[in-house]
Amino acid sequence: MNNYLFIFCFVIASSSVAYAQTTLQEALRTVRELRAQMQQKDEYETTKEFEARQSRIQGKLDILFRAVYPSIFNGTIGAYDADNETYPLTIGSVSEQFLLKIPRTAARSMEKETMSKLKASGNFYIEPDGQVYAASPLSVSIGSTVYHTLWEKPKIRILRTHVLVHESKETILTDPSKEKIYDLAFTPDGHKLASSSNHNTVILWDVSSAQPLRTLSHEPSSAYSVAFSPDGRFLAVGRDRSLTLWNPTVGQQLRDFNAENSKITSLDFAPTGYLLALGQYDVLLIWDLTTPTNPHGSRIKNPGGGLPADIHSVSFSKNQKTIAVAEGNSIALYTVPGLKGLKTQTFSNSTYIKTKFSPDGKYLSIAVNEILTSDIRIWDASNLQELVSFSAHPAAVTSFCYLHEPGFLATASFVYRTGMYQNQPSWEVTFWDIKKGTELRRMYGGNATPAVNVASSPTEGYLAVAIGNIIDLHEVTVIQHSAD
């Protein structure tokens, strides 16, 4: 699949991207020119300079192709390439390689030899992640026989994508590719988004305009984790051995608090907003912020009960009676208050796990990561019994979140792909029906880093996907429910 379908006039200014759409034919021609530039080494360039220039052009393409509005066009596809899952798709006088999504039932009913002879024409639409779908049943011919089978509406539609660039003063004039987003969080009303990075900064974004509101800087350590209080009055930022509490409305730093001797890898506010859970290396802290300037609370050493490890996630239940803690390859659940142990489970083959209660209070989802695969386990939050489990990605789940509409989950992963992204580090985001454990759709792209994060707006249909220092802010809608 060729994801580089559209090109845009763009301006990068103060951590944001502005763009204007052009025609598909112009886009493809411009992309080809940029690709050619990537392959041509100047005789005076060193290998290091050439690779740096390639990286800059690749980064520009990756930013631009995702800033796409859906577009419907008429085209003709030719013989199917089963190895790379691509069709040569002709649009007017321009031909490019695209991935056309095929219903699995239709794909199973065709042999590779038959599919290699397939011809089809019809209307297609492209979404902001670069995937192409049939917009209506295609007229498919194999020899003299005509079929109308290769048509599938995705259950999750990407309506629009904004592209945000997280840049700090340390990297904007040197190498923006060194900026890595560690965490994302939406305000409870869904109107703002916070992104934290390895260069000491947290940027607050206005979701509707996709523009930065302010940058919260703090020396000298990275901002590993962020969380908003349920009323939106406080923004907690987890750093190395300290926590910073901000007033996000005016950008005022309220106070710094000393924590344990390790970085704060995870944060979660209780639904009331008075309790804040902090996950560090082998330590769970729960602070009472009734008096924000002088918090007090509880501490549990080695909450997972296994070998000491980073706590990758902490999560309060909706009724605030339970907290889930993922330490290393173990999950532990405790009562709140009192921190009495309810259940501990170790996943022996796992490298590490993540866990999170659903906003509606029905589910506890657990990402179990092994070396070459990852599973999602869905537990009933009321009795902590497993309801369903399913394989998620061919690599670890780096992040996951619940969509704004109950019953749906998005998982992110960093993988090495075959086919188009062969031997390239790639990002992958998959949408799931929680009750059935079935995949609804999958989107992916290249030029990724291991820190791939996702966050969903609690009230609006927005999904933020962070890859490196780029945030894809997708407008998402569920158009086909699991019962359909």
From 20, 39, 66, the end of a domain falls on: 66
Q: Is residue 57 domain-shared with residue 103, that is, in the same domain?
A: no
Residue 2 lies in a domain: no
Reported as type and span, the H/E element at residue 114 is helix 112-115
Q: Lowest-confidence range among 22-26, 199-203, 219-223, 264-268?
A: 22-26
Q: Is residue 271 domain-shared with residue 360, that is, in the same domain?
A: yes
pTM: 0.74
Average pLDDT over residues 422-430: 71
If pLDDT is split at 50, 70 and 90, which confidence band does 384 have? very high
Residue 163 lies in a domain: yes
Q: Lowest-confidence range among 168-172, 272-276, 304-308, 389-393?
A: 168-172
Q: Lowest-confidence range among 69-83, 269-283, 285-299, 469-483?
A: 69-83
Q: What own/partner pairs with CB < 8 Å and gap ≥ 24 does 184-187 have?
A: 184/226, 184/453, 184/454, 184/455, 184/464, 184/466, 184/471, 185/226, 185/227, 185/228, 185/235, 185/455, 186/228, 186/455, 186/456, 186/457, 186/458, 186/462, 186/464, 187/228, 187/232, 187/248
Q: Is residue 130 domain-shared with residue 274, that is, in the same domain?
A: no
Q: Give the C-alpha separation, 27 to 94, whole Å.
A: 11
Residue 255 lies in a domain: yes
Q: Is residue 23 domain-shared with residue 77, that is, in the same domain?
A: no
Q: Give the C-alpha separation, 375 to 349, whole Å.
A: 11
Q: Is residue 309 domain-shared with residue 376, that is, in the same domain?
A: yes
Q: Is residue 147 domain-shared with residue 267, that is, in the same domain?
A: no
From 122, 153, 184, the end of a domain falls on: 153
Domain that holds residue 346: 158-478
Q: Is residue 84 domain-shared with residue 110, that is, in the same domain?
A: yes
pLDDT > 60? residue 103: no
Residue 483 lies in a domain: no
pLDDT > 70? residue 117: no
Q: Which CATH number belongs to the domain containing residue 429 in this structure?
A: 2.130.10.10
Residue 387 lies in a domain: yes
Sign (positive or negative) of CA dihedral 399, 478, 90, 116: positive
What is the per-residue DSSP string for 345-376? EE-TT-SEEEEEE-TTSSEEEEEEE-SS-EEE
Residue 40 lies in a domain: yes
Residue 305 lies in a domain: yes
Higher-pLDDT residue of 408, 73? 408
Q: Give the C-alpha separation, 204 to 352, whole Å.
A: 30
Contact status, residue 165 vs residue 470, Cβ threshold 8 Å:
yes
In the structure encoding, which two tokens stand for residue 279, read together? 């996950």
Please state the domain count of the chain.
3
pLDDT of 234: 93
Q: Is residue 87 domain-shared with residue 204, that is, in the same domain?
A: no
pLDDT > 80? residue 392: yes
The predicted-structure confidence for 340-378, as pLDDT tens digits, reads as follows 999 999 998 888 999 999 999 999 999 999 878 899 999
Q: Is residue 332 domain-shared with residue 197, that is, in the same domain?
A: yes
Residue 46 lies in a domain: yes
Average pLDDT over residues 393-412: 92
The predicted-structure confidence for 431-446, as pLDDT tens digits, reads as follows 999 988 888 887 776 6
Helices and strands per DSSP (H, E), number in the chain:
4, 37
Q: Give the C-alpha separation, 9 to 283, whole Å.
A: 49
Q: Which CATH number belongs to the domain containing residue 109 in this structure?
A: 2.40.50
Q: Give the C-alpha separation, 236 to 273, whole Å.
A: 11
Count of residues making up the chain: 484
| Amino acid residing at 115 | M
Q: Is residue 271 domain-shared with residue 147, that is, in the same domain?
A: no
In the block, residue with structure tokens 């399913």 = 390
DSSP single-letter state for residue 99: P
pLDDT of 4: 29
Q: Is residue 340 domain-shared with residue 225, that is, in the same domain?
A: yes
Q: What percent of the chain has pLDDT over 90?
A: 37
Q: Is residue 297 domain-shared with residue 281, that is, in the same domain?
A: yes
pLDDT of 19: 31
Nearest to 128 by CA among 477, 401, 388: 477
If pLDDT is split at 50, 70 and 90, which confidence band does 5 have? very low
From 47, 66, 85, the end of a domain falls on: 66
